Amino acid sequence: MKEDALDLKSEYHNTDYSDVVTRMKLGLVNLKKELNVPEGIPKPRNVRDPNSYYFAKRKWIESVRNR
């Protein structure tokens, strides 16, 4: 990585790093299984104001923690 010290160039398709890419993909598959991530693309939330959704979610989490 001396040629690109700032990591500005993607090495994803570089054949020298194909073993690294393969290991990372397998790791992702294993993590998805471990965390029970459903397959496919999730449906987007139907929320008008995303900030209100996250604020409500955070309030709920804080109320659960304070019990």
Q: What is the pLDDT of residues 34-59, one digit of tens each?
A: 999 888 877 776 767 767 667 777 77
Domain count, the chain: 1
Q: What is the pLDDT of residue 21?
A: 94
User: Is 36 domain-assigned?
Assistant: yes
Q: Which domain holds residue 49?
A: 15-65
* Mean per-residue pLDDT, 57-67: 78
Report the distance separating Cα 56 and Cα 15, nearest Å.
Answer: 47
User: Is there a domain that residue 29 lies in?
Assistant: yes
- Residue 9: inside a domain: no
DSSP notation for 7-57 = --S--TT-GGGHHHHHHHHHHHHHHHHHTTPPSSPPPPP--S-HHHHHHHH
Let me know if residue 5 belongs to a domain: no
Which two structure tokens, joined as six digits, stand for 6? 């700032």
Kindly report whether the global pTM for this prediction surpasses the value 0.85. Answer: no
Position 4 in a domain:
no
In a domain, 3, yes or no: no
Q: What is the rounded CA–CA span in Å between residue 30 and residue 23?
A: 11
